[in-house]
Structure 1
Amino acid sequence: MDLEKFRLTGDPPADAVVEVIQRDMPELWASDKWKNFTHNNQKPDDTWPKELISFINQNEVLPEDSLPNRLKHTQEFFSKHQPLILLCLGLYSLPYCYAAANGAKVLYHSKRLRESPGKRLIETASFVLDVSEPGAFDTKGKGFRSILKVRLMHALTRYYIKNQAFWQSDWGLPINQEDMAGTNLAFSLIVLRGLRKLGVDVKGAESKDFLQYWNLIGHLLGIENELVKDNVKQALSLEKQIAKRHFTRSVEGVELAAALRKHIEVEMRNSAIHLPVSALMAYLLGSEISKMLDIETSSFNKVVAKSFVSLSKIQQLIGRDFQWQRQEIDRVNL
């Protein structure tokens, strides 16, 4: 597959809507009506631009091949493994994305991840919960609305960054199709890989359903069909291709990983949760990506991390939860 063409492509429908909002109603983003537009059964405000209302109505329907039982099974799988899935997202998926040098530049220059890593983590966790928990796409769920807001946030970021003086054309378009596909794989394929590293026996059917569930989310986020893979083998091939093209050491990736790591470590020191953050990141990411991101750890913490992984594997056998898994998760409206 020729991925280069996808680096020059954003999300034309969403980009067109953002152009209209920025021209006619830029104050929308900070309004209470937009901030509180959070549940699937809420209707768009009739004062909003007609292009936005049309965009919302067109993108709140599941594809015809979205089988209710498959969605339900994946939502149950998420609920069962939620603590470990969120752990993988924070210690594996996000730093994994930072290894893609050009994609990391967008995250770096938007400043949100460097200056407010805690807020970004909460937003990410909230998004994942909104789209994954049981009933996410029912009338009382939040799935459609959270996906809508993330999709338009991506378009708004492209709107601001693509014409900035620092942005170089050879980096591609900010938040382009290839980068969006890579991020979707980080939240699906990489999470599955992380779960297995932590001892979860993911069945073949569970793996396929989980991947296709995130394919659905990717579709609703505006990722082109050619970049949405139907099975694990195809997803692995795309992941390897993207990594080969873009994974390398960068100042931006190193700083983003350091900010994320520092925040999680501080949060754990202030709570009942005490995990060796750097050691677990290094274990999940592997030595090659860890070196790219300057993730180092002491011999002692490596032993602690191995002990945690061993306990996690035992947990899967006996089906019991640890204290750290019982922590309440903060949620925010996107």
Structure 2
Amino acid sequence: QASDIEKFKKYAHLFYEVDDLGDEVVKETYLKLPYHEASSLIEKYSRSKISGDDNVPESLKKLFIQMQETPAWFNEDLANIGARFCMRSGKNALIILRDFTLMGGYDFAYLNKPLIFTGALKKGAVKRLKDTLEFWVNVTRENALKTNSEAYQLMVRTRLMHSYARVKIKEKTENWDYKNWGEPINSWDMIATYTGFSLVFMQGLKKLGVKISEQEELGVFHLWKYIGYLLGIPPEFLPENKQQAVEHLYLWSSTQNKGDEDSIHLAKALLDENLENTIYKVMAQA
């Protein structure tokens, strides 16, 4: 038991830690400029390399230099093995992402609070499903994550969307329960979410009879570690293999409450959407 407590302490601080680089960019762009101007600025800097000497707002410079820097631990060949497996899993992957990963995530009451506070139910489940599947399809292609690529630009937008949601929740929400929910879209919840795209995703595919080699499994974990790094998650806490992922999910789930009324509404909204229609649209873009 003592070792479990020690392991818990290793991660617990992440409950109150967030992507500060992303938040600073949002404060310097989206909160100061009209939305379309801020978006154009971000798009412009996403398309070309940024250096320390460039005349770019400091927060943007820090963010893009971090994202452009390929960490020493990154193994492109291993990530591509994971990407090829994701491509091989085809329509099964999209079904698992919808019916197992997304739907399963709704069972964790606290994880879903940012969705509720940002009006996900009003926007409709199909938008979140479509956005999630499109994100997955784009970032899990072979060699997709090169700096300034389409997938890289999508990664920048996604990272700043998380930051924008967090900044707005903190600005406008008086009844956010920091004690139980941690910071909005905190680093620990983010790690759990991306473990859903690796561990839970592969577990679901196995239930459908999909065979996964040891190298493919390690490749998927490595790919999502790099994706997590690009999205501002401290990489040293992202799982590299099944054992680490299971341990992490076990520890993280102890911070969560079982599904509540919000979970039911989110799940029902997703259930009521036309799965086939959304999946085939996304597959057509892949």
TM-score for the superposition, normalised by structure 2: 0.84
The whole-number CA distance in structure 2 between the counterparts of 1:208 and 1:130 is: 20
Assess, with a 3 A threshold, how the Cα gap between structure 1 residues 14 and 196 changes in structure 2: closer, same or farther: same
The whole-number CA distance in structure 2 between the counterparts of 1:239 and 1:162 is: 26
Assess, with a 3 A threshold, how the Cα gap between structure 1 residues 204 and 27 changes in structure 2: closer, same or farther: same
Query: Is 1:260 aligned to 2:270, yes or no?
Result: yes
Indicate the structure (1 or 2) with the bigger Cα radius of gyration: 1
Match of 1:306 in 2: none
Q: Deviations over 1:244-290 (max 9, x none)?
A: 331402111111111111113xx54xx5x9xxxxxxxxxxxxxxxxx
Shift of 1:48: 6.8
Query: Is 1:165 aligned to 2:118, yes or no?
Result: no
Match of 2:197 in 1: 187
The whole-number CA distance in structure 1 between the counterparts of 2:283 and 2:97 is: 15
Match of 2:115 in 1: 107
Shift of 1:243: 2.0
The whole-number CA distance in structure 2 between the counterparts of 1:12 and 1:239 is: 24
Q: Deviations over 1:51-102 (max 9, x none)?
A: 2244223312332232232122222111111311111111111122212211
Match of 1:147 in 2: 155
The whole-number CA distance in structure 2 between the counterparts of 1:62 and 1:234 is: 23
Match of 1:299 in 2: none
Task: Give % identity.
Answer: 26
Structure 1: runs of 5 or more not aligned? 274-324
Assess, with a 3 A threshold, how the Cα gap between structure 1 residues 24 and 188 changes in structure 2: closer, same or farther: same
Matches within 5 A, 1:89-128: 89-128=97-136
Assess, with a 3 A threshold, how the Cα gap between structure 1 residues 146 and 193 changes in structure 2: closer, same or farther: same
Q: Secondary structure at the match of 1:24?
A: coil
Q: Secondary structure at the match of 2:104?
A: helix
Query: Does the 8 Å CA contact 2:14/2:186 hold for their aligned counterparts?
Result: yes
Match of 2:67 in 1: 59
Shift of 1:209: 1.1
The whole-number CA distance in structure 1 between the counterparts of 2:93 and 2:45 is: 24
Shift of 1:113: 4.5
Structure 2: runs of 5 or more not aligned? 1-7
Query: Does the 8 Å CA contact 2:29/2:38 hold for their aligned counterparts?
Result: no
**Which structure carries more relative contact order (alpha carbon 8 Å, separation 6+)?**
2
Q: Secondary structure at the match of 2:64?
A: helix
Q: Secondary structure at the match of 1:245?
A: coil
Match of 1:329 in 2: 282
Q: Deviations over 1:97-140 (max 9, x none)?
A: 21221111111121124532111111111111121112302367
Query: Does the 8 Å CA contact 1:75/1:132 hold for their aligned counterparts?
Result: yes
The whole-number CA distance in structure 1 between the counterparts of 2:44 and 2:108 is: 31
Shift of 1:328: 4.5
Match of 1:78 in 2: 86
Shift of 1:187: 0.9
